[in-house]
Amino acid sequence: MPNPLLKEIRRDPLLWLLVFVPVAFAGEKLAPGAHTLLFLLSVLAIVPLAALLSHATESVAAKTGDSVGGLLNATLGNLTELVIALTALGAGQYVLVKASIAGAIVTNTLFVLGASLLLGGLKHHVQEFNRAGARLQAGLLFLATIALLVPSAIAESDRVPGLAFTQKLSLGLAVLLIVTYALGMLFSLKTHREFFGSAEHAEAGEAPWPLGLALGTLAGVTVLVALVSEVFVGSVQEAAVAFGMTPAFVGFIVVALVGGAAEMGSAFSGARKNRLDLSVGIALGSAAQIALFVAPVLVLLSYVLGPAPMSLEFWPGAVVMMLVATLTATLLTNTGRSAWFVGVLPLMVYLIFAMTLYLLPPQVQ
Amino acid sequence: MPNPLLKEIRRDPLLWLLVFVPVAFAGEKLAPGAHTLLFLLSVLAIVPLAALLSHATESVAAKTGDSVGGLLNATLGNLTELVIALTALGAGQYVLVKASIAGAIVTNTLFVLGASLLLGGLKHHVQEFNRAGARLQAGLLFLATIALLVPSAIAESDRVPGLAFTQKLSLGLAVLLIVTYALGMLFSLKTHREFFGSAEHAEAGEAPWPLGLALGTLAGVTVLVALVSEVFVGSVQEAAVAFGMTPAFVGFIVVALVGGAAEMGSAFSGARKNRLDLSVGIALGSAAQIALFVAPVLVLLSYVLGPAPMSLEFWPGAVVMMLVATLTATLLTNTGRSAWFVGVLPLMVYLIFAMTLYLLPPQVQ
Amino acid sequence: MPNPLLKEIRRDPLLWLLVFVPVAFAGEKLAPGAHTLLFLLSVLAIVPLAALLSHATESVAAKTGDSVGGLLNATLGNLTELVIALTALGAGQYVLVKASIAGAIVTNTLFVLGASLLLGGLKHHVQEFNRAGARLQAGLLFLATIALLVPSAIAESDRVPGLAFTQKLSLGLAVLLIVTYALGMLFSLKTHREFFGSAEHAEAGEAPWPLGLALGTLAGVTVLVALVSEVFVGSVQEAAVAFGMTPAFVGFIVVALVGGAAEMGSAFSGARKNRLDLSVGIALGSAAQIALFVAPVLVLLSYVLGPAPMSLEFWPGAVVMMLVATLTATLLTNTGRSAWFVGVLPLMVYLIFAMTLYLLPPQVQ
């Protein structure tokens, strides 16, 4: 293994968790029925892999120039979430896929944003950030929420219009969301980039790795994440029961926190360094990327990989939560200024949701 | 026919479509069962009539001084939509009336606004507009959406309170909306007119016609629109089936685009000329006028003209679309600045709605 | 009775209504079945008591220094509403308790705010106010509405998860709301007080009373309010029927107007004196206090005082009204500027709600 990767591992204690990757594989071979243990091992293995993946993506982005780099960050930034969801998709666990999509959107919009504003505000009396970036991401999120609201609202009504309708509509919406996401990148990375100056992901990293190492890590770690995800997806439901957690709570909260652990670290440390642009960009940017890129790509891929096409119809409760999360982020980032209490509000909304999901009897979701 | 009207017709190719007015009448006499043909002919006839009506209204307004002119624009600006809806009202087609009201609000708020911002933004890097005007119209629209939400929400609930309640409530709401609209005009045209300076309709026109010609055109064309509307309303439902379109799609999208074609032209050309105040004023002003003036007037007139009183209870899907459209416009016009991507967002929301209505099986709406 | 209290009574004609306090008690003894009369007498008695209570709270607050004073105002500012609700709670009238909570929130957010902006705007062409204060209160209200939305939305769904779930969730939400309210006070009264400068309640009063008198009045009048509330709660339902009003209308509109009469006076006179900070602070501050302090305290106290635990599950119509009211206040106070028409909009929303509740058949709510 080349030098910079080893140095990185020595420097960052989070990466010491990499030792759990082989342990998880060994565990699956030796005790395939120990779901709770396998769940814990796979969580401990995914977290450092996600951190490596995030660092490798940023390194490739930094080496390839601004436009291609921005594009890479914008498409591979949530590779961990995508790989986990793809594994669940292949296993036909559509409920888990959808819960993890909705959960990742809500967690980024409320928890990562709120905790960043709170942690930053506890150190700095008042903080400022670039409103243009926050507005663009909030606008994209708003559009995605509308797109998810429509099929769910119609499917919920008494007069259910049947599966064929939901399927066709979901396909159309997926294409529309990806087109909008692409236009949004064209806007922020190309035609009007001067308005979005300092808010980019790529600045987060330290000295980037050489391109070869970065690309190699990207490929290798993606394969490892896919393999560990199989252990994770195979054990999560039964482990949840063992912990007394509802499947909704696991899909929404646990999967989202596991998949996004690496990015959260960057967002929080950015906020402490008074670089709120970075934190807000990670929080809202990740949420927008999952809503307008990961989710529609999963719908399209379900025609190839899944046992049946996946629709964009969500559990109504999840749609309400995404709507509320988007509205909260829109209202909070409106002024471009923040203090600690501004972070408390989205965290409390997140707590309300987490509490509800935790208490909800399993058959309801 | 006097000179300026002929000159106008020679200058504006859109008005050459006027030839379809007699053709549509002839068609109805000769082939009363050819619904698809009659539908197309009536659409082609209404578009130039709407353009003439709009120009005549503006000419009268320009001649009568600012306050009366503003009043005229604010009440007759959507005369085409009003006449079409009145024809459908007289025929007892309340579902079509309501779909065309909701469709006109959504189309103006999302499509006309979005396309104006996009077309303007493709020519100008960043555009500015008067926030005060946009805010007033968005506020009026917000109020109207609440007024339409309440009877629909209560009628939707399991515990339906009966027709008498909905009837009485609709009557009260209609009066309330008209009063608010009148107060809004008093505010923007009289007591606080300095804040709404350049956003007025009346500036759109070229050299106005003489008053006599304008009044004559206004009267004559209104009668023609009413007659062509009868052909349109009589053929639209069966033509929709022939085209494979759902009635909801026709009422929402087709009728709204036909009725508003003339105004859209002014809004788009205003945006290209970097006069966004004009475009935003037309888009949101028309929507507010339909919601707070045309719709309640139709409720009141249904007691005189219709076979039974019409309520303000809408299909829940239509209420959701109006709510989303209002919220979108409120959030987008908040800053008073625009670039091309700001126009993409409402257009995409409009596409989501249009796609859903197009795919929706007929019995659901 | 000491001098300042007598002087106050002589100066303020509203306090002459204090004569109805003994009359109401006498009425209850002599004619316990005359519900309509007892209702009217108790209303006339509560209004001046609420005014005294408000004045005494402000006097104590003024004497105890800024932080403690702010705390007192923030917790005792809606003592009248709390005592009325506690009386209804003890009587097991949970529907009335919840209607009065929701009604007080909606009435403060729409009626008190709207009437203040309108009355102020009729005297002053354009008025300005402190946006930071309005934003904080609107943010708190938004959070509370989300907290009330969740249990009601889930209880409404087809798949009702049972009483135990609602009970546990309500308890958790109550604790969460109180914690957020306390953090909000810490933020606005302590860590970031410089942003909320002039908006505080305490400035409303004239020369404050001596501390002993103020504390005595506070204690004595609270007991009187509790006693009169018993007459009020015991007669309100049957009186409503006699007046042809629905219970929902009484709970929402009448109780809220009676309980908040004193504060409304201060809000309106502040607006006339171009001190909109005061008016907006009273309107939104009272609503936030009821939502984040009074309502959760009532849930907690229901375990001690009520016949059964009270949940935070509201009638869905009430939740919609609170959501709309919060959204209206958020959008309107966004700019920090106001003119008369800005007050018309929330008043009209309030009228829509009042009209709907008045017309709604009793069995529906």
pLDDT confidence of residue C201: 44
**Six token digits for residue B288:** 């507010």
pLDDT at position A363 over 70: no
- Chain C contacts of B316, Cβ < 8 Å? none
pLDDT confidence of residue B200: 43
Mean pLDDT, to the nearest integer, of A307-333? 89
- Chain A contacts of C147, Cβ < 8 Å? 352
Q: pLDDT averaged over chain A?
A: 85
Measure in Å the smallest separation between the Cα of B365 and chain C Cα atoms.
22
Measure in Å the smallest separation between the Cα of C213 and chain B Cα atoms.
47
Counted across chains A and B, CB pairs separated by less than 8 A come out at 70
Q: Which of A135, A161, A176 sits opposite B360 (nearest CB)?
A: A161
Measure in Å the smallest separation between the Cα of A165 and chain B Cα atoms.
6
Mean pLDDT, to the nearest integer, of B39-46? 91
Q: Is A159 on the interface with B (CB under 8 A)?
A: yes
pLDDT confidence of residue B250: 83
CA C80 to chain centroid, in Å, comes to: 8
Mean pLDDT, to the nearest integer, of C152-174? 78
Mean pLDDT, to the nearest integer, of A252-256? 85
Q: Is A190 on the interface with B (CB under 8 A)?
A: no
Interval B143-194: pLDDT, tens: 999 999 887 777 666 555 677 888 899 999 999 999 999 999 899 888 888 8
- Chain A contacts of B316, Cβ < 8 Å? 157
pLDDT confidence of residue C242: 85
Mean pLDDT, to the nearest integer, of B258-264? 81
Tell me whether residues A355 and C162 touch, CB distance under 8 A: no
pLDDT confidence of residue C301: 93
pLDDT at position A243 over 50: yes
Search chain A and give the residue with CA nearest C146: A349
Tell me whether residues A187 and B340 touch, CB distance under 8 A: yes
Tell me whether residues C187 and A340 touch, CB distance under 8 A: yes
Search chain B and give the residue with CA nearest C357: B169
pLDDT at position C8 over 70: yes
- Chain B contacts of A180, Cβ < 8 Å? 344-345, 348
**What's the complex ipTM?**
0.88
The region, left, alpha or beta by phi > 0 then psi within -120 to 50, assigned to residue A102 is alpha
pLDDT at position A161 over 70: no
Q: How confident is the model at residue C111 (pLDDT cuts 50, 70, 90)?
A: very high
pLDDT confidence of residue B172: 95
Search chain A and give the residue with CA nearest B349: A143
Q: Is C133 on the interface with A (CB under 8 A)?
A: no
- Cα angle value B59/B60/B61 (rounded, 5°): 90
Mean pLDDT, to the nearest integer, of B264-281? 87
Give the lowest-confidence range in A21-30, C73-82, C90-99: C73-82
Mean pLDDT, to the nearest integer, of B248-264? 83
Q: How confident is the model at residue C113 (pLDDT cuts 50, 70, 90)?
A: very high
Q: Using CB atoms within 10 A of its CB, is residue B142 exposed (0-12), middle (13-18) or buried (19+)?
A: buried
Q: pLDDT averaged over chain C?
A: 85
Q: Which of A154, A169, A184 sits opposite B341 (nearest CB)?
A: A184
Strands A127-128 and B337-338, sheet pairing: unpaired
pLDDT at position A201 over 70: no
Give the lowest-confidence range in A17-31, A267-281, C107-121: A267-281
Most confident listed range (A135-149, B144-158, C68-82): A135-149
Q: Is C147 on the interface with A (CB under 8 A)?
A: yes
pLDDT confidence of residue C10: 81
Q: How confident is the model at residue C199 (pLDDT cuts 50, 70, 90)?
A: very low
Q: Is B336 on the interface with C (CB under 8 A)?
A: no
pLDDT confidence of residue A102: 93
pLDDT confidence of residue C161: 64
C50 or B112, which is more confident: B112
- Chain C contacts of B184, Cβ < 8 Å? 341
C107 or B265, which is more confident: C107
Q: Is the dihedral of CA B246, B248, B250, B253 positive or negative?
A: negative
pLDDT confidence of residue A294: 93
pLDDT confidence of residue A315: 83
Search chain A and give the residue with CA nearest C138: A331
B160 or B322, which is more confident: B322
pLDDT confidence of residue B365: 44
Q: How confident is the model at residue B347 (pLDDT cuts 50, 70, 90)?
A: very high
Q: Which of B146, B151, B169 sits opposite C324 (nearest CB)?
A: B146
- Chain A contacts of B324, Cβ < 8 Å? 146, 149
Reduced to 3 states (helix: H, G, I; strand: E, B; else coil), residue A333 is coil
- Chain A contacts of C142, Cβ < 8 Å? 328, 331, 345
Q: Is A192 on the interface with B (CB under 8 A)?
A: yes
Residue ranges in A125-162 assigned as alpha helix (H) = 131-156
**Angle in degrees, 0-180, between the axes of helices C276-289 and C94-106, rounded to the nearest 10:** 160
Search chain B and give the residue with CA nearest C334: B334
Backbone torsions φ then ψ of A257, nearest 5 degrees: -70, -40
Interval A65-88: pLDDT, tens: 666 666 777 677 788 888 888 888
Q: How many CB atoms lie within 10 A of CB A28?
A: 20
**Six token digits for residue A102:** 């909705």
Most confident listed range (A124-138, A235-249, A289-303): A289-303
Q: Mind giving me the DSSP string for A228-288?
A: HHHHHHHHHHHHHHHHT--HHHIIIIIHHHHHTHHHHHHHHHHHHTT-HHHHHHHHHHHHH
Tell me whether residues A153 and B320 touch, CB distance under 8 A: yes
Q: Is C352 on the interface with B (CB under 8 A)?
A: yes
Tell the residue number behind the tokens 């995914």, with chain if given. A46
Interval A150-160: pLDDT, tens: 877 776 665 55
CA distances from residue C216 to A14, A22, C209 in whole angstroms, order as listed: 62, 73, 11
Bridge-partner residues for B338, per DSSP? B127
Question: Residue C281, CB half-sphere, CA atoms under 13 Å: how many?
Answer: 24
The residue among C330, C335, C357 whose CA lies nearest residue C346 is C330
How is residue A160 annotated by DSSP? -
Q: Is A158 on the interface with B (CB under 8 A)?
A: no
Mean pLDDT, to the nearest integer, of B119-136? 91
The rounded percent of chain C whose pLDDT value lies above 70 is 90
Q: How confident is the model at residue C144 (pLDDT cuts 50, 70, 90)?
A: very high
Q: Which of C135, C153, C169 sits opposite A320 (nearest CB)?
A: C153
Tell me whether residues B331 and A139 touch, CB distance under 8 A: yes
